[in-house]
Structure 1
Amino acid sequence: MIDSRGALEAVVRHAVELEDDYEDIAPTLTALAACGDSTLVPRLQEALDRFPTRACAGSPRRNWTD
């Protein structure tokens, strides 16, 4: 069992700081996805809202004014 809150914070911190390569955080992200802890959804949404809304075509978060 992983510390899901700690793992989410590590992933968010990695994304915010744009440090190192994805491969460094990939095992943590995989374990986090597999844990199924739905209590993390509000924190994840909060973290995602900090990022620009420009995204891939077809993304529901896409900002069409950009």
Structure 2
Amino acid sequence: MKLQVKFDFIHNMEKQMEEMPEEAIREYKENPDEFIKQGIEEFKEDLKSELNNDDYCWIENLDVKVVEE
């Protein structure tokens, strides 16, 4: 069995900036595209980890794209 799941993940960057440590804010300001790209990769790994709950099912080829900032 193979399932494809699509959903919208809403990221409030302004709210996150209020709570981010200074080091992360500096990294974001220096290279916002790379910062967001890294965040997406971490999100994908976190989602895979959450959904992989036993030896009989797992996630492959998870695709996350920015469609609107």
Q: Same fold (TM over 0.5)?
A: no
Which structure has more RCO (C-alpha within 8 Å, separation ≥ 6)? 1
TM-score (norm 2): 0.26
TM-score (norm 1): 0.27
